[in-house]
Amino acid sequence: MRFWLVFVIVPALVIVGGISFLAWRQGVPGVRAELAPPLRYIGLKTPLGLTLTAARGGVESAELRLVQGQGRAVLARQSFSGGALQQRIQLTVEGAGLGLREGAATLEVFARDGFWRPLRVDDRPVLTVPVMLDLTAPSLEVVSSTRYLAQGGGGLVVFRARGAARLGVNAGGRFLPAYPVGPADAGLFAAMVALPWDAPTSAPIAVTAQDEAGNTASRPVSSEIKPRRFPAGTVDLKPEFLAAKLPELLPGRGAVAPEQVLPAFLTVNRDQRRTAEQTKRELAARTAPRPLWQGAFLQPRNTKVFSNFAETRVYRYRGQDVDSQVHLGYDLASVRQSPVPAANSGAVVFAGPLTIYGNTVVVDHGLGLMTLYAHLSAMSVKEGEEVQKGQEIGRTGATGLALGDHLHYEVLIHGISVTPLEWWDARWIRDHIGKPLREANVALLEADQPAPDSEERPPAPARTRRSARPR
């Protein structure tokens, strides 16, 4: 044993170990920064969310800068204690207060962790992102609008906008998109407006325009909302009706035990109804950006309205009030399996079973306007097919939550159910949809025609006949 070797090997090991240790320290990655959502523009008010992740030692501090040539603005400077490996910075950048010009700029993120390294590496940004600084809100001006709207009714607004990416109307708490109309360089847009049946008459209506940077302009629309009275009714649920219907509405569940009839019905009446409402909203996104319809909408021949729009129904079962729902269309009765005509020209966007509505066809008429035909026994059109006004699209029936053969008919504007009465009335269309277009000099609809024959005239909404059958 050559003892003196210890004096060579041990220091060598210490040196090698020390160097390896320092190299490892130096090699541990620094803080990683991630923007979510991604950032492309900085506008007058832009939300910015940044996640900082340290591999070791915890995030200690961060600084966000916006750099433009020689110009520089510090957006945030933050220190953290506690040594957490992840930190989130959330702020709203007010672009106009930065002292920078509109145009290209770079967001730089600096961050350091609490991990010691032989050489400092935090003088370089951990993230750089090219952004556009846009400090100009879109220009926006209301040109014309339907003067009188009603609860559960429709209308139209024409406005002029420049420099916007997202345009529409906020009405009754909902956003209704707009579509370009008129000559390409006129900057004109039209949006159909719908007020839910329960929108307050004081509901604010405003056009809004937003650009890519999120800069938003908004102008009030001077329409008046008239109140409407809606009926109330009662539906008596017969146990034998439910026993016969529930297996159809809850397929895969098999026979429903007597004590399960009521909860099963409530699942159908609440959850399936909600699902159908969701589907209506989703279908709205598939509307054509121009009107496909012309003139008054057709009421099927020889039909009577036996249940009204926005009727609040209390459901009774074995002498108890068990549920309450609002009926969002007209029930039209004629003879069994009568032909169902497309109320106007358009394109089929849905044809199939739709929860409580049974076999259902939805026809898009453009600009967000659609008609829905439910409880059909047969459907003679397919999704994607174009239909002409009056063309047979199916036959009435009793599929879904319907006992008697009838047509459940709805008019939808961007998925919001409105009264069908307005659209059966050529004069209403002329005064409420045609007029704002004429005032804006936009030729979007054919020359307004009077209703060609008495069958297209609006029938007075019949009083709801009390009936023991669920509709």
Give the chain as a 3 state SS string. CCHHHHHHHHHHHHHHHHHHHHHHHHHCCCCEEEECCCCCEECCCEEEEEEEECCCCCEEEEEEEEEECCEEEEEEEEECCCCCCEEEEEEEECHHHCCCCCEEEEEEEEEEECCCCCCCCCCCCCEEEEEEECCCCCEEEEEEECCEEECCCEEEEEEEEECCCEEEEEECCEEEECEEECCHHHCEEEEEEECCCCCCCCCCEEEEEECCCCCEEEEECCCEEECCCCCEEEEEECHHHHHHHHHHHCCCCCCCCHHHHHHHHHHHHHHHHHHHHHHHHHHHCCCCCCCCCCCCCCCCCCCEEEECCCEEEEEEECCEEEEEEEECCEEEECCCCCEEECCCCEEEEEEEECHHHCEEEEEEEECCEEEEEEEECEECCCCCCEECCCCEEEECECCCCCCCCEEEEEEEECCEEECHHHHHCHHHHHHHHHHHHHHCCCCCCCCCCCCCCHHHCCCCCCCCCCCCCCC
CB nearer Zn ion, residue 365 or residue 471: 471
How many CB atoms lie under 10 A from the CB of residue 451?
16
CB nearer Zn ion, residue 177 or residue 420: 420
CB nearer Zn ion, residue 167 or residue 407: 407
Residue of minimal Cβ distance to Zn ion:
408
Q: Does 448 bind Zn ion (CB under 5 A)?
A: no
The site string for Zn ion over 53-92 (x = CB under 5 A, - otherwise) reads: ----------------------------------------
Least distance CB 329 / Zn ion (angstroms): 5
Which stretch, 5-13, 402-410, 412-420, 424-432, contacts Zn ion (CB under 5 A)?
A: 402-410
Which stretch, 172-180, 263-271, 340-348, 406-414, contacts Zn ion (CB under 5 A)?
A: 406-414
Q: Does 108 bind Zn ion (CB under 5 A)?
A: no
Out of 331, 405, 425, 448, the only residue in the binding site for Zn ion (CB under 5 A) is: 331
Beta bridge partners of 179: 190
CB nearer Zn ion, residue 68 or residue 419: 419
Least distance CB 307 / Zn ion (angstroms): 6
How many residues form the binding site for Zn ion (CB under 5 A)? 3
Which stretch, 200-208, 238-246, 327-335, 459-467, contacts Zn ion (CB under 5 A)?
A: 327-335
Least distance CB 406 / Zn ion (angstroms): 7
Q: Does 313 bind Zn ion (CB under 5 A)?
A: no
Q: Does 471 bind Zn ion (CB under 5 A)?
A: yes
CB nearer Zn ion, residue 267 or residue 467: 467
Least distance CB 292 / Zn ion (angstroms): 25
Considering only residues 199 to 228 of the shown chain, the ones binding Zn ion according to CB under 5 A are: none
Which stretch, 1-9, 270-278, 378-386, 401-409, contacts Zn ion (CB under 5 A)?
A: 401-409
User: CA quadruple 332, 382, 152, 471: dihedral positive or negative?
Assistant: positive
CB nearer Zn ion, residue 395 or residue 430: 395
- At position 223, the amino acid (one-letter code) is S
Which stretch, 88-96, 145-153, 324-332, 451-459, contacts Zn ion (CB under 5 A)?
A: 324-332
Which stretch, 20-28, 113-121, 201-209, 405-413, contacts Zn ion (CB under 5 A)?
A: 405-413
Least distance CB 469 / Zn ion (angstroms): 11
Question: How many whole angstroms from its chain centre is CA 456?
Answer: 33
CB nearer Zn ion, residue 107 or residue 372: 372
Out of 174, 408, 414, 430, the only residue in the binding site for Zn ion (CB under 5 A) is: 408
Which residues are at the interface with Zn ion (CB under 5 A)?
331, 408, 471
